[in-house]
Amino acid sequence: MIITEQKALTEIIESLKEYQKIFLVGCGECSATCKTGGEPEVLAMKQELEKHGKLVTGMCIPEAPCVASKIKTEFAKNIKALKETEAILVLACGLGVQSVKDNDRFGKTILPACNTLFGAVMDAQGNFYEKCSFCAECVLDITGGICPITLCAKGLLNGPCGGMNKGKCEVDQDKDCAWVLIYKELEKKRKLNNFKKIQTPKDFKKSNKPHKLIMAK
Ligand code: SF4
Ligand code: SF4
């Protein structure tokens, strides 16, 4: 899941200062879960924009605006409103914003209403935790399912640094050292031999941006 936070309203209004007629796009997946781009947030944004003298020409909440087919379907239902629109405000992550831009055949100005923070898992209480940094060379098989790239402040691949203190991270004393967590997990699973496997430096060519993956037909 992609985690977002809504930008300050003052920032959004400033970004819209040259535009009067605004179309709103939300997100029925991640941003709805984060409460940054679901139906309540899109309706609240409409009210705020109207209070600031804007005309909201229309709105849609595709299931996932980062998927071309979903945003195209919604745009097809809103052609009249989109033709009247000067700018589209997207209440979704940066992927959603750029997907809206890629699929907007009217060439409107596309603006973000959210800041994109990180990819995360959600616990049963609805809290979000970053667990993966998308490094393209997963080592979870060696590290007991705990990601050192993300959970270690230095992204170390071969055990803890010298600053670890009583199981806590030297960079943030409130956090457990990722490598202590990994050690305990491997001990529990009787896999401490994994510690002897030296991880070679990451091949950063694999994490060159922008990534793409062309699916075989
Ligand atoms: S090692 Fe960590 S950052 Fe890399 S793919 Fe696995 S979970 Fe993600
Ligand atoms: S104390 Fe542990 S988690 Fe913190 S930087 Fe060092 S190895 Fe990484």
What average pLDDT does this structure show over 50-67?
98
* pLDDT higher than threshold 80 for residue 207: no
Side by side, the strands of the sheet bearing 2-6 are: 2-6, 114-122, 128-130
* Residue corresponding to tokens 């050690």: 183
Expressed in angstroms and rounded, the spacing between residue 116 Cα and the centre of ligand 1 is: 19
Pocket-forming residues, ligand 2, beta carbon under 6 Å:
152-154, 156, 160-161, 163-164, 169-171, 177-179
The whole-number average pLDDT for the span 77-103 is: 98
Helix (H) or strand (E) holding 41: helix 39-51
Tell me the pLDDT of the chain averaged across its residues. Answer: 96
Q: Which pLDDT score is estimated for 41?
A: 98
Cβ of 135 closer than 6 Å to ligand 1, yes or no, is: yes
Pocket test for ligand 2, best of 169, 175, 181 (most atoms within 8 A of CB): 169
Counting ligand 1 atoms within 8 A of each CB, the residue from 149, 151, 154 with the most, and so the one to mutate, is 149
Q: At which residue do the structure tokens 């944004």 appear?
A: 45
Phi, psi of 110 (to 5 degrees): -110, 125
As a whole number of angstroms, the distance between CA 148 and CA 139 comes to 8
Domains of the chain (ranges; CATH) run 2-118 (3.40.50.2300), 136-197 (no CATH)
Q: State the pLDDT at residue 71.
A: 96
Q: Per-residue pLDDT tens for 108-163?
A: 999 999 999 999 999 999 999 999 999 999 999 999 999 999 999 999 999 999 99
Ligand 2 atom closest to Cα of residue 159: 7
Q: How far is the CA of 156 from the centre of ligand 2 (A)?
A: 7
